[in-house]
Amino acid sequence: MNAATEHQLGRRERPSLLAEYSEPMCDLEAERAALGAGLLVAPVLEQLAEILEPEDFYLASHQRIFSEMLALRAEGTPVDPIILANRLSADEEVIARGGAAYIAALPQLSVPAVNGAHHARIVSEHSRKRKAARVAQTMLLGDIDVGEAIRALSDLGPTDRADVLPTVSAIEFCQETPDEPDWVMEGYLARGAITELDAKIKTGKTHFTCDLIRSVLSGEPFLGRLTTRVPVLYLTEERRTSFRSVLARVGLDQTDGLDIAFRHGAKTAWAETGRVIVGRAKTLGTGLVVVDTLSDWAGLEADKENDAGAALVAMRPLQEMAAAGLAVLVLRHERKSGGEVGDSARGSSAFGGAADVLLSLQKDASLGHENRRILGAVGRLEGWAPKLILEMTDGRYQSLGTNTQVEAEKAREIILAALPTIKDEAFTEKQLLEQSDDEVSRSTLKRALKELVDTGRVKKAKGVGNASSRAFGFWSTGGGES
């Protein structure tokens, strides 16, 4: 076809690139998912606003919905389906699409909400293709020349794709990020972070976790650490009968704010379940999600736990929960050989690498302390203690302090029990150390003795009791001559 023939056809008779290709150049599911994600999670709407303009949506109704969402955001008005539907109640495009019922369904079509930015980029890419088609059509119609078309197309394909790899300066990041994490349990559990708790089978990790939850639901300190009162969603592998018994032991059978999901009741694969949890958490106002245990919920066979790739896949739903602002506590089994915190859990180290805080709950090996546990910790966040000695009393865990503090207290008890309360019967330091029977180290006993003398609970003097004229004798101030 020569130029003269083409001119004679007239513009209306020429083929339209936009008409021919615009239908494939859209993804309505992605548009709905992006809108629904913005309605579900406020931070996601912030991401959408950086990626999309209203005209990037193919459907006019979606353009109007997104435009109104941005307007509500700019006003500082909450962006939810009810408010949005009221604002668009007279909009013909939205009414034609289904009105309030259509808007109300959008959040349910976004699975998961944390992938809203991904869907937005799909919408943006289709919008770019449609705009490119319009440029080509305009050039064919003779409204712009080839040079203008090239410049217009270059504007649609920037080399700096900030939406693909968003960056922020260190100064801006530190200004925007709070100094302290949003703690649910100070030093151990925070919103936006994953905490992993490892323990051998039947060590009591479920009991420990439920005891922690009781404190979180009441806002009471746990192990001497402040907690924030938030609703909790507990995903358990246990059967109903056994789990009810655990709840009753710690007093959670009559406590509001705890929702429970049983593994046998889950209808979807782990990845999909994780996405549903994010949506459910928003509905329930959940602040803490507990996954007990990850291997069971993720469907990991024993041989798969050692696979780093399978471990990362299993952790991904937890990362999505944390990205949505939830505190996540995941329970895992300890390997038979045990080990130090960070190396004690069963399977690949990729599990621990994806967590922010690692905890290990172990039995106290010393005799006579069946109700004691040792809680070890390592992590990226600050505020945890490397080791805490815990004692269970009446079904509740109490912190006795760090292992150093517990040993020091034991040394003080040994000294006060061994020392006479009469000056004339005073012990020498050597006699006193012999009384310990290696229950605590000599250095700890010496430190404890000095502390007791400094605080006045133990007296000392040269040449008294069993001491020579040059040596000190020690006696307790609990009675007799001081």
What digits encode the pLDDT tens for the residues 366-393?
A: 766 788 899 999 998 888 888 898 988 8
More confident of the two residues 131 and 335: 131
Task: For CATH 1.10.860.10, list the domain ranges present in the chain.
Answer: 3-156
Q: Which positions ≥6 away from 401 have C-beta within 8 Å?
A: 388, 389, 409
Residue 156 confidence (pLDDT): 66
Residues forming beta bridges with residue 332, ordered by sequence position = 198
Task: For CATH 3.40.50.300, list the domain ranges present in the chain.
Answer: 183-394
Task: Give pLDDT tens digits for 415-435.
Answer: 998 899 999 999 998 888 887
Please classify residue 134 by burial: count the beta carbons closer than 10 Å to its beta carbon, then call 0-12 exposed, 13-18 middle and 19+ buried.
Answer: middle
Structure letter (DSSP) for residue 215: H
Residue 480 confidence (pLDDT): 44
Q: Which positions ≥6 away from 186 have C-beta within 8 Å?
A: 225, 226, 227, 383
Query: Is the pLDDT at 350 greater than 70, yes or no?
Result: yes
Residue 11 confidence (pLDDT): 36
The token pair at 143 is 């409204």
Task: Give pLDDT tens digits for 256-306.
Answer: 999 999 998 888 889 889 989 998 888 889 999 999 989 999 998 877 888
User: Could you say which architecture CATH assigns to the domain 3-156?
Assistant: Orthogonal Bundle (1.10)
Distances (CA, A) of 416 to 183, 402, 476, 482: 40, 21, 6, 14
Tell me which fold the domain 183-394 belongs to. Rossmann fold (3.40.50)
pLDDT confidence tier of residue 337, bands split at 50, 70 and 90: low
Mean of the per-residue pLDDT values for the chain? 84
User: What is the distance between the alpha carbons of residues 334 and 482, in angstroms, rounded to a whole number?
Assistant: 53
C-alpha 208: how far from chain center: 18
Residue 15 confidence (pLDDT): 41
Task: Give pLDDT tens digits for 311-328.
Answer: 888 999 999 999 999 999
pLDDT confidence tier of residue 113, bands split at 50, 70 and 90: low
Distances (CA, A) of 243 to 209, 240, 270, 294, 353: 12, 5, 21, 17, 30
Mean predicted confidence (pLDDT) in 110-122: 75
pTM flag (> 0.85)? no
**Among 13-17, 97-101, 232-236, 382-386, where is mean pLDDT lowest?**
13-17
Residue 411 confidence (pLDDT): 87
Residue 2 confidence (pLDDT): 36
User: Could you say which architecture CATH assigns to the domain 406-476?
Assistant: Orthogonal Bundle (1.10)
Task: For CATH 1.10.10.10, list the domain ranges present in the chain.
Answer: 406-476
Query: Is the pLDDT at 481 greater than 80, yes or no?
Result: no
Task: Give pLDDT tens digits for 146-200.
Answer: 777 767 766 665 444 555 567 788 888 888 788 889 999 999 999 999 999 999 8
Residue 3 confidence (pLDDT): 39
